């Protein structure tokens, strides 16, 4: 690793430990030339996943968008941020496991609705009403009836 101060190529690792979230390794290093210390982080390089929009455009997968959608759907609901972060983790894991580099927005929306259905029925209906673009009360009523029927068959 190159020293950020004198650009010497040889450093020694003084300490290594995982970051709090476990997604990286934090290393304290010392330059063998100027003896200054610095921190480096080692992360797994992830293959980018492209999201194919309804109009055919492609954009990079962004987990922050999923979290924003969940936060909006769960506004004023008794759901912790930790529970939402875990839901986003599961969606992201499913997206990365199920794709060869591209995934349709429709598939991501279904994964999000599956998570919301487990977390909170009201948040699920809020999200579904926007995601499924209900244009009238009838579509909304049909979705509620599907939920009620599924809820009864679980009991």
Measured CA to CA, the distance from residue 135 to residue 148 in angstroms comes to 21
Contacts of 33 (CB under 8 A, 6+ apart): 3, 6, 8, 10
pLDDT higher than threshold 70 for residue 24: yes
Q: Which position has the higher pLDDT, 153 or 13?
A: 13
pLDDT at 80: 95
Q: Tens of pLDDT along 36-49? A: 999 999 988 778 89
For 114, other C-beta atoms within 10 Å of its C-beta total 15
Distance between CA atoms of residues 102 and 151, nearest Å:
33
Taking alpha carbons only, the member of 97, 12, 105 closest to residue 66 is 105
pTM of the model: 0.66
Percent of the chain at pLDDT > 90 equals: 66
What are the tens digits of pLDDT across the range 103-140?
999 999 999 999 999 999 899 888 988 887 777 788 77
């Amino acid at each position: 690793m190159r020293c950020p101060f004198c650009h010497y190529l040889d450093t020694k690792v003084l300490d290594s430990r995982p970051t709090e979230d476990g997604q990286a390794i934090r290393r304290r290093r010392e330059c063998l030339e100027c003896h200054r210390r610095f921190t480096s982080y080692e992360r797994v390089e992830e293959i980018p996943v492209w999201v194919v929009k309804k109009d055919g455009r492609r954009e990079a997968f962004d987990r922050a968008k999923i979290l924003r959608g969940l936060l909006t759907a769960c506004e004023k609901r008794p759901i912790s941020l930790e529970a939402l972060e875990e839901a986003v983790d599961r969606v992201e894991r499913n997206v990365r496991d199920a794709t060869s580099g591209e995934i349709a927005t429709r598939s991501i929306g279904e994964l999000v609705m599956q998570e919301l259905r487990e977390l909170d029925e009201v948040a699920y209906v809020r999200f579904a009403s926007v995601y499924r673009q209900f244009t009238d009360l009838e579509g909304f009523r049909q979705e509620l009836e599907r939920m009620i029927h599924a809820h009864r068959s679980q009991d």
